[in-house]
Structure 1
């Protein structure tokens, strides 16, 4: 059994291609199917199946595009209520791909429609567990209370997860390989390990969810301390239930303006450049959500700050980079919200003042300090006792809570989020001096 694991580092997302006897199955594909087509060509094989373990909340899947472009059959649970042509894949259902047998197990908990895929040949058993079972953790149960055809409360799903973990894997061997849909850093779980795969035996020994505990203890542990839910998660679930449109067609209609500042007054602008370039020269109304590195969580923070349906312009320093940023926008299904793509002219438009760090260190009481880390982080420690805490994903809605009498210093834990946060505050409080503490925050930790 030949398995290729693909990793999207920004979203901590794993997808898979399995090849046997000239046929390929794709599991939980990302938005751009080109990498799977390249894999099939390299292996002189044809994609004949694409499997969705559930309608994903944190990224848009290419399952429908792959079906239309290759003729592959889409397999997913009947519980999804999928609005595209598919074959139901639930408990007891199976199909063959070369010498590999694929079987479905319904494993609700992360969502009511989650399945685990069991792939077997003569030599091994492999489990593609989606967002049910991770390395060291299980999927969060609080994403489907208001989204999707089949809704469920977090308490109901947490109880379902208990029974899935306790009963659904008990007949499978310890040596079965575990390939999850996410790794450490994903918002779909809270305590995932750094490894990209495991074995069922290792998880039975080391994963907290498999230890002896009552249902009540399990539910309490699972619900405690889950991270925030970005605005876009519900939109992604609904889009994946419908099936996303062809990526190239979706992007082709978005206009590009080179060296231009022609943006309507009051427009929302997402500037993806490095914070130094942004602070030197940017358009009024801009939020700085950096997309200059593949590991930067641009997609997550775009979808946490901007709401589904909210239109915006996208800025980068070069044409090549603005198109790369657009591809990342499409990963969360926001491409139809992009009004235009821009590279900026050289003349100064708006800039940030640099914080006098020595003065700040000696006179922190002369500033209003805004801590935009997540609640779990601020509950564990505060760098400044007087700081006002407003998580970044709530900042646009709660900026009125920030007093404007003093200069304002915005900080996070390392600098990435404060670049976005300081730009949001600066747009809300236009007559107050706003500073970004950036990576200098490490001096105060």
Structure 2
């Protein structure tokens, strides 16, 4: 058995190929199936199976497209109620891939319909593909299925299920079992994940808090505390994955492209500018929102799906035509390509420039400004940089903008400067006539 791990860095998502003999199985594949096909060609193997550990909330899977294009069988828990061709895969079910036996363990907790896939080869090597149940150093959050999916469940109910899963479901597996999770550090599907991309079950039993000798009440209290915010698109993606996504290539071919455009056509649609903050502040279309998507370290997918609501129409402003394919791919990963009207690069017109904060005046007279902290609530609870700052998390800012006092100029800050550019542009759009400044990376001067 050979396991190949694929990483989608912006979403901290791991997917897998299991190769045994002349056959391959995939686990939790990303939206674009091409890398898996390339791997199958390289090893001259046939894709026989796709395992879906649950209907994912944070990305769109390519399971249905892979089934249609390769004939591979999709294996998923019958509890999902999947609306695509599939084989039920639950406790007691197994399938052989080459010389490797893959079996299912129902492992509710992150969702009521989660499974863990156990692979054992002829040399008795064990691997567990734990989806969003067991992470390295943590377990999956239990609060994402209260409003999405055919099997809605309260967070308290799922937290209790996770306790029993961790306590009872994996006890028969050896310590040498390699743990392959669906996510790593940076994902919003958990809160304290390790940067390690894999582990062993023995190590997790020793080091992961969830395996400690806790009562059910203690376990539930810990897992329910301080979970990250839930982006707008999470429920939307659960529904897409339950039904199966449309073809990736044809979907990203639909949005229009306008080269060196003077303006957008639909005046009611949002304009999302993915250029860096320096380019944006120097010249941008009035009312546009700056969600930076320059590198893999930029969380474009997460913040696009948090700020823009599912099915809300929008345009994207690019720095260059060279960025078009990459940005389209990133938008499609969260299923937002169908609400994307078009992409454009700007012509040489002068649109709008953002005013720069007079930093020394702000330092001397911070009381002359309304300071808006757009970090997550857990970050604010841990440390405030300005005692008189008011807190409005970035994912809530569009809805709460009119609650912000307008009697003073506004200074927006986050933890390092990435989010503050988005927050500033949101308030510039929402609060006409009020000066809004971005503290940007100058926030470093105000940290203890």
Fold shared per TM-score above 0.5: yes
Match of residue 3 from structure 1: 3
How far apart, CA to CA, are the structure 1 residues paired with 2:303 and 2:360? 31
How far apart, CA to CA, are the structure 1 residues paired with 2:384 and 2:348? 40
Match of residue 135 from structure 1: 136
How far apart, CA to CA, are the structure 2 residues paired with 1:161 and 1:320? 45
Match of residue 22 from structure 1: 22
Match of residue 283 from structure 1: 285
Match of residue 41 from structure 1: 41
Provide structure 2 residue ranges, at least 5 long, that are not aligned to the other structure.
none
2:338 aligned with 1:336: yes
Note the alpha carbon deviations across 1:388-442, whole angstroms, 9 max, x for none: 1000000000001111121111000000100100000000112111111111101
Match of residue 426 from structure 1: 428
2:437 aligned with 1:435: yes
Secondary structure at the counterpart of residue 251 of structure 2 = helix
How far apart, CA to CA, are the structure 1 residues paired with 2:147 and 2:238? 10
2:319 to 317, 330, 339: 317
8 A contact 2:263–2:285 mirrored in 1? no
Q: How does 1:42-441 map to 2 (within 5 A)?
A: 42-123=42-123, 124-263=125-264, 264-441=266-443
How far apart, CA to CA, are the structure 2 residues paired with 1:214 and 1:20? 41
How far apart, CA to CA, are the structure 1 residues paired with 2:45 and 2:5? 17
How far apart, CA to CA, are the structure 2 residues paired with 1:265 and 1:76? 43
8 A contact 2:374–2:392 mirrored in 1? yes
How far apart, CA to CA, are the structure 1 residues paired with 2:217 and 2:166? 14
Q: Runs of 4 or more off by more than 2 Å in structure 1? A: 264-267
Note the alpha carbon deviations across 1:127-184, whole angstroms, 9 max, x for none: 0000000000000000001111111110110000000000000011001000000001
How far 1:38 sits from its partner (Å)? 0.8
8 A contact 1:313–1:338 mirrored in 2? yes
Secondary structure at the counterpart of residue 41 of structure 1 = helix
TM-score where L is the length of structure 1:
0.99
8 A contact 2:9–2:297 mirrored in 1? yes
How far apart, CA to CA, are the structure 1 residues paired with 2:267 and 2:370? 29
How far apart, CA to CA, are the structure 1 residues paired with 2:214 and 2:252? 49
How far apart, CA to CA, are the structure 2 residues paired with 1:311 and 1:261? 19
How far 1:265 sits from its partner (Å)? 2.9
Provide structure 1 residue ranges, at least 5 long, that are not aligned to the other structure.
none
8 A contact 1:322–1:343 mirrored in 2? no
How far 1:262 sits from its partner (Å)? 2.8
